[in-house]
Amino acid sequence: MRKSEKREKIAQLLNQYFPNPDVPLDHKDPYTLLIAVLLSAQCTDERVNQVTPFLFKKASNPFEMGKLRQEQIYKIIKPCGLGPKKSKAIKKLSQILVKNYGGEVPKDLEILETLPGVGHKTASVVVSQAYGIPSFPVDTHIHRCAQRWGLSSGKNVTTTEKDLKKFFPPEQWNKLHIQIIMYAREYCSARGCFGLECPICKACYPKRKSKFKHKKP
């Protein structure tokens, strides 16, 4: 299968299964999305969505959040895991946003990555989903599928991101990021498909007989 054929087939199937994907983390603006994505590290989206209503009731903007005691934040977000680290980061980044950026979440990826608790993936999700700036954040689901579908060597998430950006045009990145995550969870799971069962795996490699061996992120 030629590269162009594979690209069109994958996009076609993703659009068929998830034509109008939305960010699975509940939020109302760039700031609440930033906090939700930060909380989602090593935590399920479902758990984050259970916690954030209580957190945002206390403080839904950096002005309010920066005034809360770290212990108050920790008490609410504890179910998400890594509570001490995340609560410290949330308070500190909120204070930085107020002091340096007028309470606004920057659109610049590199600036976002300097904030406490905000890595490349978190920053990429915010710029892509809050501001519509083309980005392709890679999580474990995308990393897994990119290998199974022959889109990346899978050496690490950095390589996978570069490979996906070369394979798909920029105008598709933001939508594909959400589509692949949703598809991976439902049809191409870590302990389910193994590159043999789901429609996209079968379309890309119809003659594959043995389970695909992944490289971890």
Active site positions, annotated:
121, 139
Three-state SS for 183-211 is: HHHHCCCCCCCCCCCCHHHHHHCCCCCCC
Q: How far is 78 from 148, CA to CA, in rounded Å? A: 35
198: region left, alpha or beta (phi > 0 left; psi from -120 to 50 alpha): beta
Collect all residues with Cβ–Cβ distance below 8 Å to 71 and sequence separation of at least 6: 87
